[in-house]
C-alpha cells in the first residue's frame, strides 16, 4: 500500500496538496512573526484533528524509512507535544493514510499539515472536521 501513495520519501505526483493551517492562507513576509506567537493550545488543534480523523476513519501510519504502513490502533502514541513538535526534524514528521477516503495527511513546516488527495471530494468530506478544530484549509 505504501507504493500506492509514496515514492522516494514523498507523495506521488498524482496527489494534490491541500494545506491545513491556523491561518486561511500563506502568511507572507509581513506576517511571519505570527509563527513565533503560536501557543501550545493553538498548536494542539492539529492533535485534535488527528484524534477526530482516527475516530471517524481507519488511519494507517506511513513509514518512509521502511516503506510500509501500519494500522493506527491508538492515535495518542503518534501525537507530539508542543515542545516535541517544535524540535522535530522533517524525517520525524507524521504521515497517515486515511483509508476510506484514499487520501493522506502529513505534518509539515510552519504549523501546517497537508492533505494529499486526488479529487476535491476528499476535501469536501474532511472540511467539517477541519473547521470543527478551528483550523483553516486552502490550496497552494
Q: How confident is the model at residue 131 (pLDDT cuts 50, 70, 90)?
A: very high
* Sign of the torsion formed by the C-alpha atoms of 124, 126, 130 and 133: positive
Q: What is the pTM of this model?
A: 0.93
pLDDT 10s digits, 23-38: 998 888 888 888 888 8
What DSSP character marks residue 42?
A: H
Count of CA atoms in the C-beta half-sphere (13 A) of 33: 2
Q: For residue 38, give the C-alpha cell.
A: 503560536
Residue 138 has pLDDT above 90, yes or no: yes
- What's the CA gap between 139 and 125, in Å, rounded? 15
In the chain, where are the structural domains located? 2-139
- What's the CA gap between 8 and 74, in Å, rounded? 27
What percent of the chain is predicted at pLDDT more than 90?
A: 74
For residue 136, what are the β-bridge partners? 21
Amino acid at each position: 500500500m505504501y507504493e500506492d501513495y509514496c515514492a522516494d520519501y514523498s507523495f506521488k505526483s498524482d496527489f494534490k496538496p491541500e494545506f491545513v493551517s491556523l491561518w486561511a492562507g500563506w502568511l507572507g513576509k509581513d506576517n511571519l512573526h505570527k509563527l513565533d506567537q503560536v501557543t501550545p493550545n493553538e498548536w494542539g488543534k492539529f492533535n485534535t484533528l488527528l484524534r477526530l480523523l482516527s475516530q471517524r476513519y481507519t488511519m494507517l501510519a506511513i513509514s518512509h524509512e521502511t516503506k510500509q504502513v501500519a494500522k493506527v490502533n491508538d492515535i495518542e502514541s503518534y501525537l507530539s507535544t508542543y515542545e516535541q513538535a517544535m524540535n522535530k526534524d522533517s524525517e520525524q514528521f507524521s504521515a497517515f493514510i486515511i483509508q476510506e477516503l484514499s487520501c493522506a495527511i502529513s505534518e509539515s513546516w510552519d504549523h501546517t499539515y497537508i492533505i494529499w488527495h486526488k479529487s476535491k471530494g476528499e476535501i469536501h468530506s474532511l472540511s467539517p472536521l477541519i473547521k470543527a478544530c478551528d483550523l483553516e484549509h486552502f490550496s497552494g
